[in-house]
Structure 1
Amino acid sequence: MRRIRTATVLLGLPLFVLLGATPASAASTTDVTSATLVARGVAVDVTVSVTCPAGMSGSFELNVRQRSGNRIAYGSGWAPLSCTGQPQAVPVRVLAQHDGAIFRTGEALFTGGTELCNEDTCEYGQIDDTARVTR
């Protein structure tokens, strides 16, 4: 019985490795390049530099969290993507939650994800960045 389990694990390991991250997901990069307050902190206009394989398209969602006094300001936004294979600046407006704090100048955490597809495959990426929110 022990030999059967060992053989099953050893045979399944190569399959697990093959089903890991695809090479396409390593080709996409997403970085926050600027974040500017809008309407006295009700929103933040964020510019994201995106490089992804030409021919893929989809969207990304961006969440912003920032300490605002003794509270946390939080908001989210999204933008469509059409990949060119070259770096491109993509603007997205992130609105503060209506029941939360407003955004301020200073350091913020930017998280989210991308979903990009072509005719054959889709890839999913994560955004995890910090940047300074300015006026």
Structure 2
Amino acid sequence: MRRIITAIALLGLSLSIVLAPTPASAASSVEVTAGTLVARGVAVDLTLTVVCQAGMSGTSNLTLRQRSGDRVAHGTGWAPLRCSGETQVVTGRVFADAGGFAFNKGVALASGHFELCEQENCDFLDFNNTVRITR
């Protein structure tokens, strides 16, 4: 009986260590804070405020969608990042889809995914924010 209880306790302890979030996951965050039209709506520069563990680096896939009347402008882009452990401002450019609609001033939905790694550890940050696009 004592062996079974000990085995269960060790299994529970092992699972709590394996399933615990890494320090990078707990401290990392990203928020889209601004959008600026480029080339009359052909692209938008998104400003992101990011906090992540020093020494990590990677890129983000960015997506932007904006409704204009009964149409939706859509585009994708990317942003590089090298983490310092402090709050950083990063800019990524999103290009409107070819054959689609141009972006305009106003509210849009910005979403994306950062994949940041250092040696064997990786952190994945997803974001989904509304942003006001200005000129």
1:65 match: 65
3-state SS of paired residue (1:40): helix
What CA deviation, in whole Å up to 9, does each residue of 1:62-100 have, x standing for no partner? 110000221110111111110000111111111000121
Q: 1:18 Cα shift?
A: 3.9
Give 2:38's aligned amino acid: V
3-state SS of paired residue (1:99): coil
Structure 1: 5+ residue stretches without partners: 1-10
Contact persistence 2:80–2:92 (CA under 8 A): no
State how far apart, in whole Å, the 2-side matches of 1:37 and 1:129 are: 17
2:103 match: 103
TM-score computed with the length of structure 2 as normaliser: 0.83
Q: 1:17 Cα shift?
A: 8.7
Contact persistence 1:68–1:102 (CA under 8 A): no
2:3 match: none
3-state SS of paired residue (1:24): helix
Give 1:36's aligned amino acid: T
Q: Tell whether 2:116 aligns with 1:90.
A: no
Q: 1:21 Cα shift?
A: 4.4
Structure 2: 5+ residue stretches without partners: 1-10
2:133 match: 133
Contact persistence 1:44–1:93 (CA under 8 A): yes
Q: 1:16 Cα shift?
A: 8.4
Q: Tell whether 2:123 aligns with 1:123.
A: yes
Count residues with an aligned counterpart. 124
Q: 1:23 Cα shift?
A: 3.6
